[in-house]
Structure 1
Amino acid sequence: MAARYPMGTVGVLALLLSTLPLTGCPKKQLVTFDNDGVLNAKIRRTDYGVPHIKADNLESLSFGIGYAFAQDNACMLLDIVARYNSRRSQYYGPDKVPGSGDSANLITDFSYLALGIREQAEAGYDQLTDTTQAMLSGYSKGFNLYLDHTGSDNLDPQCAGQPWVQPIDDLDMLTALLGTALLPGAGNFLAPIFLAAPPNTSYLPTPVTPAGAAALRPERTLPQVDAQAVAQQATLPSTAGANPQELGSNAWAIGGDLSANGRGLLLANPHFPHSGILRFWQFHSTIPGVLDVLGASLSGTPGMVNLGFNKHLAWSHTYSTAEHFIVYQLDLADSDPSGMTYLVDGEPRTIEQRTLTLNVAVGPNTVLPFSKTVYYSDFGPMLVAPEVLPWGNDQPGRFVAYSIKDVNRENFDIVDHWMAMNLARNMEEFKQSFVNFDGVLFNNTLAVDRVGNSFYIDDSTVPDLSAVAEQALRTDPTLQQARELLGFSVLPGNASVFDFSGPVPYERAPKLERRDFVQNSNDSYWLTNPAEPLADHSILYGKTGVTQSLRSRMSQAMLRDSTGPDGRFNLDDLQASLFSERAYLAEAVLADLVTLCQAQGDTPVEVETSVEDESTTVAVNIADACSSLSQWDGRYQKDRRGAHVFREFAQQFALAPQWVNPFDPNDPTNTPNTLDPNPSVLQQLAKAVLVLEAAGVAPDATLGEVQFVEYTQPDGTPSGEKLPWEGANNVEGGFNVFRSIAEDSSLIPRHVYPPLPGSQISAEGQGYQVSQGSSWIMLVNFTRKGPVARGLMTYSQSIDPRSPHRDDQTRLYSEAPRLRPLYFSEKDIRAHTISEINLSYPLP
C-alpha cells in the first residue's frame, strides 16, 4: 500500500475542513451516513434524461445515484462487477467467443484473482473512511432497489433474465474500483499473468475433483484452450505500455487573462470508448448547503463526479503519459534449476505460489470449479510474454524471470480524492485534495476557478523511484532500449535500491499555475504552457524535449489563433474551436501535397505492395484522389469530399514522415514542418489510393458517407442504420477526434467491422466505424451569477435499446455537432424537468 493511501482520520478531517469557509466559521457540515434509518433521495430528470439527484446525506445521495445509473445502464454495471470480481467464466464460460478456445474469460478471471483485488477489498473495507463506506453502501443499495423494482426479466434485453443479474454489495463495488485503478498498469498484463509458470510447468487450470470422487472426464470438464490464441493476447508491446487502448483527451483551463470576462473558462473533451466499461455518464449531485456538483463519471463510479464543476471551480482530466508500474527482471539462482529462486542484494528469495479456484461454465447448466497455480515475487505477480518476458533462459542466455509492481495496488484513495475535489470551494482546497490523497490514478488534472486562476498537475499515481533507479533508466543503454521498445520501464530486480515503496508525493509532481492558460492533449507535462516549460521531474512522468503529437500541436495552434476579436476566449469561441474540425497535418502539408500530385497528373506511381505474402510492384493512378484533395478545405466536416483520402495518406505518412525541417526543441510547437516534395510522398498517396480501392470507397465520397456510428442489436448484429459522423482522427492531427476500437473490455454484444491492415477503414463496413473518441464534452464559464455550462454526451446516457435516451444526443451530434445547455441552477432544473421520483428505502 502506498504511503499516502491509509486515510482514516485524515480523510474525515479533510472533508470536515472542506465545509469551513475562509473565515474559519463552520457552515453546514457534510453528513456521511443516514441517521434516521431511511435512505431518501429525489431524482429529477431534465432534457436528454440527465438526472439531478438531491439528498440530505452522502449515503442517501449515492443511493439515488446508484438507482438513477441502474435505470440507464444496469447491464453495464453488472458486467463490470462480473469482470472485476472474477465471475465471467461462471456465467459466460471460458471463452469470449464461445467454443473458440480463446480463454479470454478464464484469463480475465484468474488474473484479477491473482492481482488480489477482491481479497484487498475484503481486508481493507473496515479501514475505509466514512465517506467511502457511505458512498459504496448507498450506491449498491440504490442499484439493488432498481433491480427489485424492475425484476430481472424486465431489464434491458441485453441482460434480462440472465443468471449474472444478481444484487451487488459494497465489496463488489470496491473490488471494481480497485480493478479500475489497475487499468493503466497491471490490468494491461492479464494474459502475461495467466501465462506465468516456471520452466517445464503448465499454466493451464485444472478441474477440481472432489475428495473421494472418481476422476472427472477431461473431455467433459476441461475447456478447450487455443494456446496460440492465448499467447497472442500476451504479445508485447502491443498489449502493454502506458496506454495501449489509446485513451485520450483534450483539456483547456483558460485563466482570467485570456477569458473574455476575466473569470475561469474550461474545455473538457475526453476521448474514451463509446461502449464498454469506460463509458461516461452525466449526473448532478446536491446536498443542500454542502455539495452542488455537475459533471460525468465513468460507469460504476459510486457517486462522485470525475469531470465537472461546482459553484466555485471546474476541472477536467486527460490521460497522462506517466508510468504507473515497474516490471522487474529477476536474476534466477543457477543453483535452483526449477526457476523458483531469485537473488536480491545477493540473498536468495523464493517465488511464492498460490492455488486459486473459480467456477467455470463448461456446458449447459454445468458449472464446475477449476484451480490454477499463480506465482509471486516480493514485487508482485509473475509475468510471461512469449519471446519478450520469458521465465527461464532468455536470448542472451541469462536465467531470468519477470514480475510487475503496480503503484495503484490497494489504492483506497479514489472516492475520497474525487469527493474532496467535488467539495472544494476555492483553488487552495482543490490543490489540498492532491496533498491529502492519491486517487486520480492515471490522469492529468486541469482546473479553473471563478476568479480566473488556472491550475495543472500530473499527480497521477507514479512510482517514487530512488535516484539510483532514475539514473539507471536515463543512462543505461539496455534499460533505455527496453523502454523504447516496450513502452514501459524494466528495472533490475537484483538490488533493493531499484524497488519503490509508494507514489511520488505532491511536492514533486509536475504542476503549473497561470492566469492565461494551461492545456494538455496527452503529451507530457513539458508544454503545459509553452511560455513556461516544465522540466526536472521523474522520467516516469513522460518525455520532455521531444516532438509533440499532431493533436497537441493543433491544440496549441488553436489557443494562439482561435480567440475572439478581443483576443480572448468565451464559450462561443471554445465551441467554435472544438467543432472547427481542423487537422494539423492538413494545414501543414495539404497545399504542397496537392501541388506535388497535380504535377504527377495521370502518370502512374509505382509502389511496392504485398499480395498473398509476396511482394509485387503496382502502378497506381493518383489523379482522382488528387482531384478530391484539391477541392478539400482541410476540415473534417460531414459534407467535405476528400477528407478520407487525406486520412489514408496520413496513415502512410505517419510511418515515414517526410519533413524538410526537423524537430527543434527550441521551437517545439512549430516543428517539424514543411513537406518534402519527394517520390516517397507520392508513393504514400498511391498506397492510400490502394487502401480506398480495397475498401470499395470512392475518393470523392463525403466524410458523412464513410464515417458513421451504428448501433448494435441485442443479439450482436448491426442495426443497419449508419448515422453520419463528423470529426477528425489522431493520425491527421485533429482535435475533435474519433476512431474504431475492436475491444471495449465488455461482454455486452457489440458488432465490429474489421479494419483493413494498416488502416482504420473497413471494407465490410464501407468506411470508418466510430466507437471511441469525443465522449463527454463540457464547456464551463464562470460569471458574476455563477457557472454557465454547455455539454454533450456524444453516445447518449443509456445503453438500453428501449430508452429514448439511448441515442437522442447521438442523433443531435450526427445532425450537426452542437452542445446543449447544462442545467445547474434550481430555476433551470425546475423549468426543464421531464420526470421526478422520490425514493425511500428503510435500512435493515
Structure 2
Amino acid sequence: MTIRPFLVTALTAALVLAGCDNDYDVPTPPVAVVPPAPEPIVPPSVTTMADGTLEARIRRTSYGVPHIEADSLQEIAFGSGYAQAEDHLCILADGFVKANSERSKFFGPHRSIDFNTGDVLAEDNQNIISDFGYKALGVRASAEVLLDTMPERSVAMMSGFTEGYNLYLSELETNQTPNLPCAGQAWVEPIEPVDLLTYLFSIALLPGSANFLDLIFFANPGDGDEYLPQPAATAAIDELSKPQQQLLAQIHDKARSRAGKITTPELNPIDLGSNGWGIGSELSANGKGIVLGNPHFPHTGQLRFWQSHLTIPGELDVMGGSLVGTPGIINIGFNQNLAWTHTFSTAEHFIMYNLALKEGDRLTYLYDGAELPIESELVSIDVNVGGGVVVPFEKTIYRTAKGVMVEAPPTLAPFAWDDSQAFFIQDANEENVDVLEHWLAMNLATNIDQFQQAFRDFDGVIFNNTMYADDQGNAFYIDDSTVPHISDYAQTALRVSPDLITIKEQAGFTIFPYEPLFAFDDAVPYDSAPKLVRQDFVQNSNNSYWVTNPAEPIEDVSPLYGKRRSEQTLRTRLGLTLLTDSSGDDGLFDPAEVEAALFSNRAYLGELVLPELLTQCEAQGSTGVDIGNGTVVDLTNACAALGQWNGAQNKDSIGGALLREFAHRFDTGSHLTQPFVSTMPVTTPAGLVDDGSALVILAQAAQSLTNAGFGLDAPLGSMQFIEKSLPDGSASGAKIAISGSNNREGGFNVFSYSLDSRDDTLLPQHAYTAVTDPVSGEPLRSQLSTEGYHVRYGSSWMMVVGFGDNGPTARGLLTYSQSNNFQSPHWNDQTQYYSDNNNLRPLLFTEDEIAAATSSDKVIRPAE
C-alpha cells in the first residue's frame, strides 16, 4: 500500500482540530449523562480447584468428539489439555514456540522450512522477525509478571491444561510409539502455566499489533542498518563452518531486501469473516431462540477450531467449538438454556500514534508539555545455524510507556522515524487478562441477564461480535470486542477532520497525534458498546454493528467500531435476505429451516445481476468481445453455461466457476447503475450496467478458465475441493469435493483458497500452481490453481442450536474434522461427511446420547 506523506504532525493536528486557522469546525459534544449502574447479577458458582489428585474422564463419541467430565475447572482443563494434545500436539507445540520467541532457536532464521528434513523452502527471515517481534510486544515478559495476579479460576484452568498436555507428552515418550510427526522432537517440550499465558497473550494481539511485526523489526532512530540484529559478543563466529557463516551473512541481506517490500497489513480482508444469527421468539416457530454459528476461519494453523463437551455435574454443562490452545472453555457453543456465536468485528483494537520529537533528540518525545523518553532494551534470541549450533543474536527494541515503536522504510510513507516525528502502536488487547474469565462467564450463564453481566464484568472477547439466543426467546447482539476508549473529542475529530479521515482511509486504521485529547487508557465499557436486544433477530456477517437488524439501526457509538450508513457486502445482503425468504410457509423459522438456509449455497451476485447479464448475452450473440489484450472471445458457450446455473454453488452447479471468476472482476461501484441508499441497505446498489463492460469481464472470466483447461460447463464439484497436506508438506492425494460459495459472489457458506497469513504455523502445506489472468499475467484474484479451487479457509465450526421444552437440540459440523493427526480416523471423516451430505450432524449432548455412541472411555490422572 502506498500512502501519501503524513499530513498532520502531533503539534499542528491538535491546533487544527481545536479550530485554529482551519476552515472546518469540531463541535464540542454535549456532556454525556451516565445512567446509574444496574444492580450486578450474581454469576453462577463453580468449583475451581481439584480436591486432591487431578482426575478427568474423557469419553469420545462419533467423529472423535471428546466429552470431558470432572469435578472442577482445573480438572476440566486437565482433560482438555490432554485431549487437545491427542488431536493437535504439533500445532500446540509450535504455538508455544512462536509465542516464546524460539522459532529461530529450533528452525533457523526462515519460516518456510521443512521441519522433518531441515530443507529451507524460502529465505524470508520470518522466524527472526517473529521472534524479535514477540519479544518487542512483551508477551512472555507480561506473562511472567502477571501470572501470579491472575484470577483463581484462570490460574486453575491454565495449570490444569498444562498438566494434561504434559501428561500426554510423557505417555508418548513412555509408549515409544509416537503417531505424530513432531513427537520426540526437541521443540516439543513440556510446558508451564506461564507458557500457556504467553500463548494466550500472543493470540490476543493477532487483530492488532501482531500484524506489524515487520514495522516493529525495522523501527530504529538511526537512518542506516542499525535495525539489523547482530551476533552477541559471546558468539564464536570464527569457529563456525563456512555454510554456517554464509547463513548468518544472508540474514542481513534478506532483511535489507525485505525492508524494501514492507507494506501495511490488510487487517480484515474481504475473504475473511463469519456469519452469526440469533433468532428470537417473534421469528421462531416455537417461540424459543435459535442460534446459527458459522465462523469462517483457517483450516490449518493456530486459529483452528476444536470441538468438545465439558461437564462439571450440577455446575457446568457446555458444548461447542474452541480455538486450539483454549484451556477448558467453549468459545462458540451452547448450554442447557442458551447459545451464542461470534463473528470478526469491524472495530479497531489499537491506535497508531504520531509522536512529536524533541528537536535534536530522536529518543525524546513531547506530550502535554512534558518531555518523555522512548525506552530502549537490548533483547536476544537464539538462531539455529545448522549442525546443532545455536548463535545468540541481539537487537535493540524501542517502546514508549504505552506501546511498541514502529517504522517503515522511506518507500512506505508516512511512517518515518526522523528528526521530527516517530510512531508507536497502543494495543487495547495488550495484557488482556480477561480472556478466560469472560468466556467462562458466558459458559456458566443460564439467562440473558447473566450473559450480559459477563460483558459488564470482563473485556476478554478480543475481536468479536456476539450473537445470542435463549430458551426464553431473547435475541441479543453486542460488539464488546476490546476497543480503545477514546474521548468524545477524539471521536468527533475522527468523524469530521478531513486529514484524519483521509489518513485512516489510506492506512486502513486510525492514526492520531499523541496528545491528551487523543490518548486512551482502557477499553470501551459495556454501556458504550453497540448492542441490541430483539425478539425477531440479530445478525452479523462482518459488516459493522449498524444494520444488526435493519428495523432498528444502531447509530451513536464510537467510530472505532466501524462504519455506519455504508454499503453492505453482498454476503451481508444475502444473510439479511435469507432471514426474510427462507423460513417456512408460516414465516417462522425452525432449526431445520435455519440449517437449510445455511446450506442453500446461494450466491447473491447471481441473483442480483444474472437475468440482466443473460439478456446482454443474448443481444451479443456470437459477436466477439475484446478482453483488453487483443484477444477476442466468443461468449456463446459462456452464456450457455451461465444459463444452466442452478442458483447455488453446489457440487453439481454448472457455471459456478464461471460465475466466481466473473465475481472477482465485478465491482459494485462501476458495474451497478443504482447507487447505495442508506435507507435501503439490503437492496442497493443494484442494476447491471449496459455499457458492455459486464460482457468484457465475463469474457475475461471465461478465457481464464479456458486457458487453464477447465470446461465452462464443468460442475463446481469437479474444481472445488479440500485436500490436506501430509506431515512432510506433500499432497495427501485425498481431494474431497465440496459445495460452498465465495465472498465475492455474495455467498453465505463461504470458502477461500490461499495459504493465508493467519495460518501462522511452521507445519508445511502443499500448494498448486496458480492460474494467471489472461490480461494482467498475474495470479487470478480468485486464487484458482491448476488443480482447481483448493480450499484453505472458510466455514469451520458450524452449528445450529434450537431450544425446546427439554433443552437444546443441536446440530453441528467441523468441516476440516477433529484431528490434525493424519493417522487418526478423525483426520478427514467430518470433511467427507460434509461432501456427502451438505448439512450438519447431530451433536450428542445428553447422557443417553453420549452413552449410546461412546467409542472410547478413559480416566486420566497425573503420572506418578
Cα offset, 1:598, TM superposition: 2.2
1:90 equivalent to 2:113? Answer no
Equivalent-residue separation in structure 1 for 2:726 and 2:238 (angstroms): 45
Displacement of 1:214 in angstroms is 7.3
Distance 2:416 2:555 in 1: 39
Does the 8 Å contact 1:760/1:768 carry over to 2? no
Conserved 8 A contact 1:695-1:767: no
Aligned counterparts of 1:130 and 1:260: Cα–Cα separation in 2: 42
1:146-225 matches, cutoff 5 A: 146-151=168-173, 154-201=177-224, 202-210=226-234, 219=246, 221-225=248-252
Aligned to 2:852: 831
Specify the alignment match of 1:302 in structure 2.
327
* Worse overlay, 425-434 or 479-488: 479-488
Partner of residue 598 from structure 2, selected from 560, 578, 587: 578
Q: Which residue of 2 aligns with 1:401?
A: 422
Tell me whether 1:67 sits opposite 2:75 in the alignment: no
2:68 touches 2:310 (CA, 8 Å); kept in 1? yes
Structure 2 match to 1:713: 726
CA distance in 2, matches of 1:319, 1:288: 33
Are 1:512 and 2:568 matched, yes or no?
no
CA distance 1:401–1:691, change in 2 (3 Å): farther
Counterparts in 2 of 1:283 and 1:382: CA distance versus 1, 3 Å? same
- Secondary structure of the residue aligned to 1:294 is strand
* 1:491-542 residue CA offsets vs partner (Å, 9 max, x unmatched): 112x222110000000000000011110000000000111101101000000
SS across alignment from 1:253: strand
Which of 635, 660, 668 is the equivalent residue of 2:681?
668
Is the 2:271–2:752 Cα contact (8 Å) retained in structure 1? no
**CA-to-partner distance for each residue in 1:17-59, whole Å, 9 max, x for gaps?**
322xxxxxxxxx42211122x0010000111000000000111
Return the match for 2:385 from 362, 366, 386.
362
State the secondary structure of the residue aligned to 2:55.
strand
Summarize deviations over 1:209-236 as a string: whole Å, max 9, x none.
2299979785464553413653366312
- Does residue 805 of structure 1 match 2:833? no
- Contact kept, 8 Å, 2:104 with 2:382, in 1: the verdict is yes
Equivalent residues of 1:754, 1:762 under 8 A apart: no
Change (3 A) 1:169 1:262: same
Question: What is the rounded CA distance, in whole Å, between the counterparts of 2:617 and 2:369 in structure 1?
Answer: 64
Q: Is the 8 A contact 1:761 1:767 kept in 2?
A: no
Partner residue in 2 for 1:320: 345
From 142, 145, 152, the equivalent of 1:123 is 145
Task: Please say if residues 206 and 222 of structure 1, whose CA atoms lie closer than 8 Å, have aligned partners that are also in contact.
Answer: no
Structure 2 residue identity aligned to 1:351: I
Bigger shift: residues 701-710 or 210-219: 210-219
CA distance in 2, matches of 1:310, 1:263: 14
Identical-residue share of aligned pairs (%): 47
Match of 2:794, SS state, is strand
What secondary structure is seen at the aligned counterpart in 2 of 1:732? coil
Cα gap change, 1:600/1:156 in structure 2, threshold over 3 Å: closer, same or farther?
farther
Pair 351,655 (structure 1): closer, same or farther in 2 beyond 3 Å: farther
Q: Which AA in structure 1 matches 2:689?
A: D
**How is 1:494-573 mapped onto 2 (pairs within 5 angstroms)?**
495-573=515-593
CA distance in 1, matches of 2:65, 2:198: 27
Looking at structure 1, the residues matched to 641 and 587 of structure 2 have their Cα atoms a distance apart, in angstroms, of: 35
The residue aligned with 1:343 is 366
- Report the CA distance between 1:694 and its aligned residue: 3.5
Note if contact 1:320-1:460 (Cα within 8 Å) is conserved in structure 2. Answer: yes
Offset at residue 340 of structure 1 (A): 2.3
**CA distance in 2: counterparts of 1:668 and 1:388, whole angstroms:** 36
SS at match of 1:39: coil
Query: Secondary structure at the residue paired with 1:261?
Result: coil
Counterpart CA distance in 2 for 1:592 and 1:624 is 17
Question: Who is 2:481 aligned against?
Answer: 460
- For the residues of structure 2 that align with 1:839 and 1:811, how far apart are their CA atoms? 31
Deviates more, 1:60-69 or 1:715-724: 715-724
Moved more, 224-233 or 425-434: 224-233
Tell me how far 1:199 sits from its aligned partner. Answer: 3.0
Distance in 2 (CA, whole Å) between partners of 1:824 and 1:473 is: 48
Is the contact between residue 704 and residue 724 of structure 1 (CA under 8 Å) also seen in structure 2? yes
Report if aligned partners of 2:167, 2:863 keep a CA contact under 8 Å in 1: no
Q: Hey, what does 1:784 align to over in structure 2? A: 805
CA shift, 1:392, in A, is: 4.3
Of the candidates 765, 768, 783, which is equivalent to residue 753 of structure 1?
768
| 2:375 counterpart (352, 356, 367) | 352
Higher mean displacement: 695-704 or 516-525: 695-704
The 5 Å alignment of 1:721-740 reads 721-740=734-753
Shift of 1:717: 1.1
Aligned partners of 1:314 and 1:448 also within 8 Å? yes
Question: Equivalents in 1 of 2:825, 2:223: separation in Å?
Answer: 56
**2:417/2:423 contact within 8 Å kept:** no
2:134 aligned with 1:112: yes
Residue number among 691, 698, 710 corresponding to 1:697 in the alignment = 710
Deviations 1:540-560 (A, max 9, x none): 000000000000000000000
Q: Tell me how far apart the structure 1 counterparts of residues 724 and 464 of structure 2 sit (CA, whole Å).
A: 30
Q: Contact 2:817/2:826 (CA < 8 Å) preserved in 1?
A: yes
Q: Which of residues 451, 463, 472 is equivalent to 1:430?
A: 451
TM superposition score normalised by structure 1: 0.92
Q: Is the 8 A contact 1:322 1:460 kept in 2?
A: yes
1:774 aligns with 2:803: no
Asked whether 1:227 is paired with 2:255, we answer: yes
1:78 is aligned to 2:102: no
The answer to whether residue 855 in structure 2 is matched with residue 840 in structure 1 is no
With over 3 angstroms needed to count, the CA separation of the structure-2 counterparts of 1:670 and 1:251, relative to structure 1, is same
Per-residue deviation, 1:411: 0.4
Letter in 2 for 1:720: G
- 482-491 vs 271-280, which deviates more? 482-491
Which stretch of the first structure deviates more once superposed, 169-178 or 371-380?
A: 371-380
Q: Which of 625, 631, 638 is the aligned partner of 2:644? A: 631
Asked whether the equivalents of residues 67 and 308 of structure 2 are also in contact (C-alpha less than 8 Å), the reply is yes
User: Is the contact between residue 697 and residue 766 of structure 1 (CA under 8 Å) also seen in structure 2?
Assistant: no
For 1:210, give the aligned amino acid. T
Preserved CA contact (<8 Å) 1:256 1:453: yes
Unpaired segments ≥5 residues, structure 2: 1-38, 114-119, 773-777
How many angstroms apart in 1 are the aligned matches of 2:673 and 2:692? 14
Q: Report if aligned partners of 2:753, 2:784 keep a CA contact under 8 Å in 1.
A: no
For 2:752 and 2:449, locate their aligned partners in 1 and report how far apart those are by CA, in whole Å. Answer: 38
Q: Helix, strand or coil for the counterpart of 1:470? A: helix
Deviation at residue 332 of structure 1 after TM alignment: 2.6
- 437, 449, 464: which is aligned to 1:416? 437
**Separation (CA, whole Å) in 1 of partners of 2:553 and 2:781:** 34
Structure 1 counterpart of 2:856, one-letter code:
S
Amino acid at match of 2:687: T
Aligned-pair CA distance for 1:200: 2.0
Could you tell me whether the CA contact under 8 Å between 1:389 and 1:401 is conserved in 2? no
763 and 483 in structure 1: CA distance in 2 versus 1, 3 angstrom threshold: closer
Deviation at 1:816, TM superposition (A): 2.6
Amino acid at match of 2:46: L
**Which residue pairs with 2:19 in the alignment?**
none
Secondary structure at the residue paired with 1:773? strand
The farther-off stretch of 546-555 and 754-763 is: 754-763
